[in-house]
Chains A and B, each alone.
Chain A
Amino acid sequence: MNRPRPAGWEAPVTVAELVDAGPLAGARMYGAGDQPVHQVRIVDELAVFATVAPHTAVVLIGAAAGGGWAVEMAVRRAWEQAAACVIAPSGGPSEGSGQVLAERLGITLVFVDGDPLVTAVRVASAAARPEAARTQLVARCATRLAEAGPSARRVLGVLNAELPGTSVAFLDRYGAHVAGRRAAHPSPAPQPPGSGHTPGVAPGPGSGLGATSAPSAGPGTGRGARPVTGGPSGTGADPGGGSRTGHTGGSGPAHGPRSGDSGAGSRRSSAPAAWEAVPRPGGPGSRTGRAGAEAGPAGDAAGSAATGPGAGAASGSRPAAAGAGGDGGGRGGDEGRQAPERGRDERRQAAQRGGAVLAEVEVTGQEGDVLGRLVASGSSRSAGWPAVVRAVLGLAVAPLAAWAATERLRASRDFALQAALAERLLRAGEPGEPGEEADAAAREAAVALGWPTRGPVTGFLLRPFGEPAQAGSRGPQGADEAAQAQAVVNAVVGQVPVLRRGEGWAGWSALDPGRLAERLRRCVEAMPRPCAAGVGARVSGLDAVGESLLGAEAGAFVAVAGSVVRADRMGPAELLGALPAGALRAPAAVVLRPLLDVDRDGSLLETLTAVLDEGGSLRAAERLGVHRNTVTTRLERIRAAGYDLADPATRLALHLACHLTSAPS
């Protein structure tokens, strides 16, 4: 690391940092872990606590770690001494109750599997030189990133593995997820880090666990998932008995035979064991009715779908996180409202992990174009941690740029590859299309290639005229010329896909139709043989680009060689102008023959054209500068020549023939 270290780099490590990415990795942590650790003290008897200084990580050994209330007592003494945390060997019988006490006192309690003395030495080393520990982490990340090579997935894999407790996602420039951990990243509208997010509230029990594991509800908090009995007078009737398998509550059956909180609500109305309203002392003893019947279903801050009144039957499948009934669920709900389109799992994970953005780094390609952003989120439990995360994210930019360059080089060398990719993207939105994984891969590649995949896009089509310039250049696939077209389009329009459409080549761009038409004009000029191009209308996204491509096709069809036609500007004139006048002139002459035979001065043809163009004799008379009766007389002569002007088919044929005959050849 040559660049100067950002602020916070030398801030003391926190307990959470030690657990997330330090010597306590893999340990079970209860509590927020936000206390800085200045030193370590090994405690073998409680008397030692009298001399424990604030911000000390206390490592319990021997009698001080022995069963009974030893760990709990240490937690309380640690609280008295403002220690940073208590580290105890795991497996003791008091783990469950220690956890409750730790949360009540706000003292972080960490259970480690290994030798506590070894742990103590490592923690001491990390606490003594926080910057060294962080530098070490960053250096390790650099090595692992170098090993990962130019692959977005592997790079993100390294980031998420080396920054535990932190979720790193790679978002494309539209804010859509490309790779990494699909966790609390900002909603699609890019936001500055931190804004609009709940601050990193520690999600409570289970927060030190991996992202994929279900939240472990602590004693008392897991109650929602336990069997619920029918009421004090009906306990015997409950078939569950499931709570017997629970120890201190944390291990209660997650999906026991319960009817859920809301079930209890609905059951309450019929059960005799309702909360009973009681008369005031000394009052006449009038009952105000069974209160329980009015009590709504159990509150479910998570806004889980299954908890409407009387939805008891469905609530058994509620995710455990919602059952936690506490803050975790509530945060999940907030996240969900911010990003309603996101899946439930994602919401839940966001709730679990705390959604604050710790660091965000823009990823640019080697050409300076923006590929997307790396977003790291999690609880900022240490003043130094965001700086470390930012540094590590910074290390990942170069491999991601290299990944993009590699992908682009590959695509530029292989028209078929990128064309197939483009076809895949076009089909991805269609329902029933198999291969979600392939779609994800295609989207990932599109990010590397810099293709537009979200937001307004415009389709285009490049149409060649005549025969290929060089003999044999078409080949069986016309591969050479297609590659040429791709190269020209990429050079002039930018990083866009190019795929075969009929005789021509199509694609889409984020440019608006006007600017795209300008660029295509230069493409048309640069192509070795005559070409025309059409530009479709601007559509809202990739799923509608097919429509835009149809317009582009039409535009290209009506465009004369060397020109570019925008479908959104195309009217009848352009369509009529595109008719193959040369080929149709002879049949037109046949159709008009009876008329031309009697039309000595061309006035009949002129009048017919005017009437059909203007849609009536009055306006035709005005256009021709003659009296209305003159027009009527001439129309009579035309009818006399055998034309039924009331027949729409006849009118269309005549109109077309007139147009071709009167148009300059």
Chain B
Amino acid sequence: MILGVALGGRAPVAVAVRDGAFAGPADPRAARAARAACVAVDLEPAGAAPVAVIRVGGPCPPVLGPLAGWPDGSGVATIVRGGHSLTGRPLAPLDTDAVRAFAAGCGLTDFAVTATGSPVLADHELAVAAVVSAEVPGARITLSYEFGRPGLREREGDAIRNAALGPAAGRLADEVAARLPGVPLYFARSGSGLVSEHYFRRYPLACLRGAAASHARGLAALGEAAGVPGPVAAAYGATLAVPEAQVERIVQARGRAELDRVLQDVRDEVLTRVVSAGAAPGSAAIAETIVNPLSYLPDGLYRVLVTARGAAP
């Protein structure tokens, strides 16, 4: 029996799915015997934590700066020297002293780090993470390259939102885990797919609109059964997804052979991530690979988006 759980309403709603078939409301006494629980939840920005934002790159107009246009209380931000161009050339050496000073003085533990050029080369983000975790023990650090989107400001926004959601997502996962001890938990992603509890804690942003996505999926699967309460459809919809992970990168490759090699690396990472997201190891498979050459840039720069899926164990 798999449990679908919809959170966010007045009370959690749970439905049971037996042998892939919708089996109506879950018997709460049997709930803890479930093989797995799939949770559909829309994360509320209201519970967002203030974030220490570190951007690695050059100076820019204030309107393009980190946290520009964000509501008050979103956190504190700095720009430190460093980063890479899209061709992988270092723009400047990373100013680790500035990173250290900011981390020590910001008074926050949730960090979002975005380096110029990190979809191509994440070295500076990783180096910042190392400095921050040494300076702030227990810091939770989101690195923007994990979200992969080209576009520094958008990627930075993702990293900030993910970092801000971290504490609330952790509490949420704690709470569901406490209610369903011993039951493996999955959370519905915003688009399609599920992620493991562990993955959810690390990348809550992936599940920002998990309930909305599950609701649509559930309604589609239940057909025109009128009168299905929204949370029921969402809870059922959550059980219909499978572990999924995505990696987006900009890669540089001269020639087919090199492209195949770098694609293999990206596939390796997405397969690893989908297993981390809860896929049974043997079932993880690449679902989709999108490779587009980047316009107006030298030959051999590609935007790569790889999706992997697997069966829940």
A contacts B directly in the complex (CB < 8 Å)?
yes
Q: Is B232 a contact of A244 with CB atoms below 8 Å?
A: no
Given contacts A93-B130, A276-B11, A276-B12, A228 and B174 within 8 Å (CB-CB): yes
Q: Could you tell me the distance between the alpha carbons of A526 and B185 in the complex, rounded to whole angstroms? A: 79
Given contacts A67-B130, A244-B167, A101 and B275 within 8 Å (CB-CB): yes
Question: Does any Cβ of A come within 8 Å of B207's Cβ?
Answer: no
A254: min CB distance to chain B, Å: 14
Q: Could you tell me the distance between the alpha carbons of A390 and B124 in the complex, rounded to whole angstroms? A: 52
Q: Which residues of A contact B272 (CB under 8 A)?
A: 69, 72-73, 75-76, 101
Q: Could you give, for residues 93-104 of chain A, a 1 whenever the CB lies within 8 Å of some chain B CB and a 0 otherwise?
A: 100010011001
Q: Which of B58-66, B86-94, B137-145 contacts A (4 or more CB under 8 A)?
A: B137-145
Question: Does any Cβ of A come within 8 Å of B126's Cβ?
Answer: yes
Q: Could you tell me the distance between the alpha carbons of A37 and B284 in the complex, rounded to whole angstroms? A: 27
Q: Is A105 a contact of B281 with CB atoms below 8 Å?
A: yes
B214: min CB distance to chain A, Å: 15
Given contacts A244-B109, A276-B13, A299 and B182 within 8 Å (CB-CB): yes
Question: Does any Cβ of A come within 8 Å of B8's Cβ?
Answer: yes
Residue of B nearest to A280 (CB): B24
Given contacts A68-B122, A219-B201, A274-B11, A226 and B174 within 8 Å (CB-CB): yes
B272: min CB distance to chain A, Å: 4
Q: Is B178 a contact of A264 with CB atoms below 8 Å?
A: yes
Q: Which residues of B contact A97 (CB under 8 A)?
A: 198, 202, 276
Q: Is B275 a contact of A76 with CB atoms below 8 Å?
A: yes
Q: Which residues of B contact A241 (CB under 8 A)?
A: 167
Q: Is A243 a contact of B273 with CB atoms below 8 Å?
A: no
Q: Could you tell me the distance between the alpha carbons of A235 and B12 in the complex, rounded to whole angstroms? A: 13
Q: Is A282 a contact of B228 with CB atoms below 8 Å?
A: yes
Query: Which one of A233, A244, A273, A275 contacts B26 once the chains associate, using CB atoms below 8 Å?
Result: A275
In chain A, positions 282-325 with a C-beta closer than 8 Å to chain B are 282, 285, 288, 290-292, 294-296, 298-299, 325
Query: Which one of B182, B231, B269 contacts A69 once the chains associate, using CB atoms below 8 Å?
Result: B269
Q: Could you tell me the distance between the alpha carbons of A224 and B129 in the complex, rounded to whole angstroms? A: 29
Residue of B nearest to A235 (CB): B171
Q: Could you give, for residues 320-342 of chain A, a 1 whenever the CB lies within 8 Å of some chain B CB and a 0 otherwise?
A: 00000110000000000000000
Given contacts A249-B201, A299-B32, A299-B182, A277 and B175 within 8 Å (CB-CB): no
Q: Could you tell me the distance between the alpha carbons of A231 and B13 in the complex, rounded to whole angstroms? A: 12
Q: Is A67 a contact of B126 with CB atoms below 8 Å?
A: yes
Q: Is A275 a contact of B275 with CB atoms below 8 Å?
A: no
Q: Is A233 a contact of B11 with CB atoms below 8 Å?
A: yes
Q: Could you tell me the distance between the alpha carbons of A345 and B133 in the complex, rounded to whole angstroms? A: 35
Question: Does any Cβ of A come within 8 Å of B47's Cβ?
Answer: yes
Question: Does any Cβ of A come within 8 Å of B257's Cβ?
Answer: no
Q: Is B49 a contact of A295 with CB atoms below 8 Å?
A: no
Q: Is B202 a contact of A291 with CB atoms below 8 Å?
A: no
Q: Is A228 a contact of B26 with CB atoms below 8 Å?
A: no
Question: Does any Cβ of B come within 8 Å of A162's Cβ?
Answer: no
Q: Could you give, for residues 566-608 of chain A, a 1 whenever the CB lies within 8 Å of some chain B CB and a 0 otherwise?
A: 0000000000000000000000000000000000000000000
Query: Which one of A101, A226, A282, A288 contacts B226 once the chains associate, using CB atoms below 8 Å?
Result: A282
Q: Is B47 a contact of A235 with CB atoms below 8 Å?
A: yes
Q: Is A104 a contact of B275 with CB atoms below 8 Å?
A: yes
Best-buried of B31, B133, B175, B261 by chain A (most CB within 10 Å): B175
Q: Is B268 a contact of A73 with CB atoms below 8 Å?
A: yes
Interface residues on chain B, number (Cβ under 8 Å): 71
B131: min CB distance to chain A, Å: 11
Q: Which residues of B contact A73 (CB under 8 A)?
A: 268-269, 272
Q: Which residues of A contact B35 (CB under 8 A)?
A: none
Question: Does any Cβ of A come within 8 Å of B115's Cβ?
Answer: no
Q: Could you tell me the distance between the alpha carbons of A67 and B123 in the complex, rounded to whole angstroms? A: 9
Q: Could you give, for residues 18-39 of chain B, a 1 whenever the CB lies within 8 Å of some chain A CB and a 0 otherwise?
A: 0000101111110110000000
Q: Which residues of A contact B103 (CB under 8 A)?
A: none
Q: Is B222 a contact of A66 with CB atoms below 8 Å?
A: no
Q: Is B265 a contact of A249 with CB atoms below 8 Å?
A: no
Q: Is B182 a contact of A282 with CB atoms below 8 Å?
A: no
B8: min CB distance to chain A, Å: 6
Query: Which one of A67, A76, A272 contacts B271 once the chains associate, using CB atoms below 8 Å?
Result: A76
Q: Is B27 a contact of A233 with CB atoms below 8 Å?
A: no
Given contacts A243-B170, A276-B11, A278-B231, A232 and B175 within 8 Å (CB-CB): yes
Q: Is A105 a contact of B275 with CB atoms below 8 Å?
A: yes
Q: Is A275 a contact of B11 with CB atoms below 8 Å?
A: yes
Q: Could you tell me the distance between the alpha carbons of A278 and B292 in the complex, rounded to whole angstroms? A: 47
Question: Does any Cβ of B come within 8 Å of A79's Cβ?
Answer: yes
Given contacts A223-B177, A277-B28, A279-B25, A79 and B281 within 8 Å (CB-CB): yes
B275: min CB distance to chain A, Å: 6
Q: Which residues of A contact B168 (CB under 8 A)?
A: 235
Question: Does any Cβ of A come within 8 Å of B172's Cβ?
Answer: yes
Given contacts A228-B175, A325-B181, A247 and B229 within 8 Å (CB-CB): no
Q: Could you tell me the distance between the alpha carbons of A291 and B226 in the complex, rounded to whole angstroms? A: 24
Question: Does any Cβ of A come within 8 Å of B227's Cβ?
Answer: yes
Q: Could you tell me the distance between the alpha carbons of A275 and B201 in the complex, rounded to whole angstroms? A: 22
Question: Does any Cβ of B come within 8 Å of A229's Cβ?
Answer: yes
Residue of B nearest to A300 (CB): B181
Question: Does any Cβ of B come within 8 Å of A468's Cβ?
Answer: no
Q: Is B32 a contact of A295 with CB atoms below 8 Å?
A: yes
Residue of B nearest to A275 (CB): B28
Question: Does any Cβ of A come within 8 Å of B242's Cβ?
Answer: no
Q: Could you tell me the distance between the alpha carbons of A410 and B198 in the complex, rounded to whole angstroms? A: 62
Q: Is B179 a contact of A264 with CB atoms below 8 Å?
A: yes
Q: Label chain A's interface by main secondary structure.
A: loop
Q: Could you give, for residues 259-302 of chain B, a 1 whenever the CB lies within 8 Å of some chain A CB and a 0 otherwise?
A: 00100010011011101100001000000000000000000000
Q: Which residues of A contact B133 (CB under 8 A)?
A: 93
B147: min CB distance to chain A, Å: 12
Q: Could you tell me the distance between the alpha carbons of A285 and B229 in the complex, rounded to whole angstroms? A: 9
Q: Is A243 a contact of B171 with CB atoms below 8 Å?
A: yes
Q: Is B268 a contact of A278 with CB atoms below 8 Å?
A: no
Q: Which residues of A contact B170 (CB under 8 A)?
A: 243-244, 246, 249
Q: Is B13 a contact of A278 with CB atoms below 8 Å?
A: yes
Q: Could you give, for residues 100-138 of chain B, a 1 whenever the CB lies within 8 Å of some chain A CB and a 0 otherwise?
A: 000000000100000000000010001001100100001
Q: Could you tell me the distance between the alpha carbons of A507 and B25 in the complex, rounded to whole angstroms? A: 73
Q: Is B175 a contact of A275 with CB atoms below 8 Å?
A: no
Q: Which residues of A contact B7 (CB under 8 A)?
A: 232
Q: Is A272 a contact of B202 with CB atoms below 8 Å?
A: no
Q: Is A69 a contact of B201 with CB atoms below 8 Å?
A: no
B216: min CB distance to chain A, Å: 16
Given contacts A101-B276, A279-B229, A229 and B175 within 8 Å (CB-CB): yes
Q: Could you give, for residues 251-282 of chain A, a 1 whenever the CB lies within 8 Å of some chain B CB and a 0 otherwise?
A: 10000000001001000100011111111111
Residue of B nearest to A93 (CB): B129
B84: min CB distance to chain A, Å: 15
Q: Could you give, for residues 36-71 of chain A, a 1 whenever the CB lies within 8 Å of some chain B CB and a 0 otherwise?
A: 000000000011000000000000000000111100
Using a CB–CB cutoff of 8 Å, the interface residues on chain B facing chain A are 7-8, 10-15, 22, 24-29, 31-32, 41, 47, 49, 109, 122, 126, 129-130, 133, 138-141, 143, 145-146, 167-168, 170-175, 177-179, 181-182, 196-198, 201-202, 222, 225-229, 231-232, 235, 261, 265, 268-269, 271-273, 275-276, 281, 313
Q: A93-B133, A280-B24, A291-B27 provided; 16 other pairs, C-beta below 8 A?
A: A68-B122, A76-B275, A93-B126, A97-B198, A231-B11, A231-B175, A232-B12, A238-B171, A275-B11, A276-B11, A277-B28, A278-B15, A281-B225, A291-B25, A295-B31, A325-B182
- A selection of 13 A-B contacts at a CB cut-off of 8 Å is A101-B272, A220-B198, A231-B175, A232-B11, A232-B12, A232-B175, A233-B11, A243-B170, A244-B109, A247-B138, A261-B181, A298-B32, A325-B181
Using a CB–CB cutoff of 8 Å, the interface residues on chain A facing chain B are 46-47, 66-69, 72-73, 75-77, 79, 93, 97, 100-101, 104-105, 219-220, 223-224, 226-229, 231-233, 235, 238, 241, 243-249, 251, 261, 264, 268, 272-282, 285, 288, 290-292, 294-296, 298-299, 325-326
5 nearest CB pairs, A to B:
A291-B28, A67-B126, A281-B228, A223-B177, A276-B11
